[in-house]
Amino acid sequence: MKHRFVSLNGKNAKSFSKWIDRFPDTKILVIGDWILDEFVWGTVERISPEAPVPVVSVTRESFVPGGALNVANNIRTLGGTVFPCGLVGRDLRGRMLVKVMRKEGIDTGGAIYDHGRPTTLKTRVVAHSQQVVRFDREDRRDLSREHLKKALTFIERILENVDAVVIEDYGKGMITPELLTHLLREAKSLKKPVLVDPKEKHFSYYRGVTAITPNRREALSAYGQNADGHVPHLNEVGQKLLRQFSCEAVLITLGEEGMILFEKNGAITRIPTAAQEVYDVSGAGDTVIAVFAMAVAARAPMKEAAVLANCAAGVVVGKLGTATLTREELKAALPALSNLRRKRSLTRV
């Protein structure tokens, strides 16, 4: 099957800028797992005498909203209006997370407080621009009936007034079949696009969404194993996922190889990476779904929305930590695509 390769020139770069200029007019509902990201920054000068591990001399610590809230934060810094909905514990971490959200100007009306679970905390130790280790503290039980009811009440109140919905599924308990069944029914009736950043174990939940953005590993997992051990071409994977999820688009992210977009109309578009330097991939997928959703909400074609998401990812992986970007940074990244060589064949996975 034929596929197109994206390249930019001055004329169509202006077209992409047009969609970015419309970002402040977009309103996005973001439903997913709320995470507090802690970064412990330091330096390494020696190896521990107790074990072959580095000794990190801590210089500072920082806390930022992570998970679905990183998606929300990206939408905010790009000028959009965002309404996040997720679970948070009644604990110190939860208070810190809500405080950070308020400081960043993120709406907290969709916070669902759960007395029975801790707020999810991811702690990353970073030394000399490299992540040394990560600790996850979490409770991954599904949300209770009581909290599901609260979530659906918030969703019903907000849904009519937004332009798109993002499902950011980290598998921490917020996204359940019951929640998605209700959401997709309501979104379909209101003609609201629903875009999903998936979790592998929840692939059966997503049928009927508008678009899905798996990475290579997730896409292969959703494709499944062939009995004869055949290694599928990306074309096979993308086409099967379109049918499996009955969606309009599948955007597979390929790390340093960029992205590939499969559309229901049969179009396949390969987008080379826009990254110049890669320091930290933490949260890059959150940026991809945020920008992809904002562009779709601004009425951009799927292909152009995917190009913008790719450019945005290229910006944030050049930053340390769970990063966001501005409209100005995104516009500045557009010309980089015009200098990329077209690749003549798809990489086999």
Query: Where in the sequence numbering do the catalytic residues fall?
Result: 286
- Token pair, residue 266, equals 């049969």
Say what angle helices 216-223 and 234-245 make with each other, to 10 degrees: 70
Say how far apart CA 120 and CA 33 lie, in whole Å. 8
Q: Which residues of 320-343 are buried (b: 16+ CB within 10 A; e: fewer)?
A: ebbbbbebebbbebbebbeebeee
What is the end-to-end Cα distance of the chain in Å, rounded?
A: 17
Q: Which of 302, 59, 34, 73 is nearest to 169 (CA)?
A: 34
Sign of the dihedral defined by the CA atoms of residues 160, 177, 234, 282, in that order: positive
Please give the Cα distance from 207 to 214 (Å, whole number). 14
User: In Å, what is the CA distance from 12 to each residue of 7, 17, 25, 267, 331?
Assistant: 9, 9, 22, 19, 12
Give Cα separations from 5 to 121, 202, 225, 258, 323 (angstroms). 40, 31, 28, 11, 28
Q: Is 266 exposed, middle or buried (0-12, 13-18, 19+ CB in 10 A)?
A: exposed
Q: Which two tokens stand for residue 70?
A: 């990183």
Closest residue by Cα to residue 286 from 257, 309, 302: 309
**Rounded Cα gap, residues 66 and 38, in angstroms:** 9
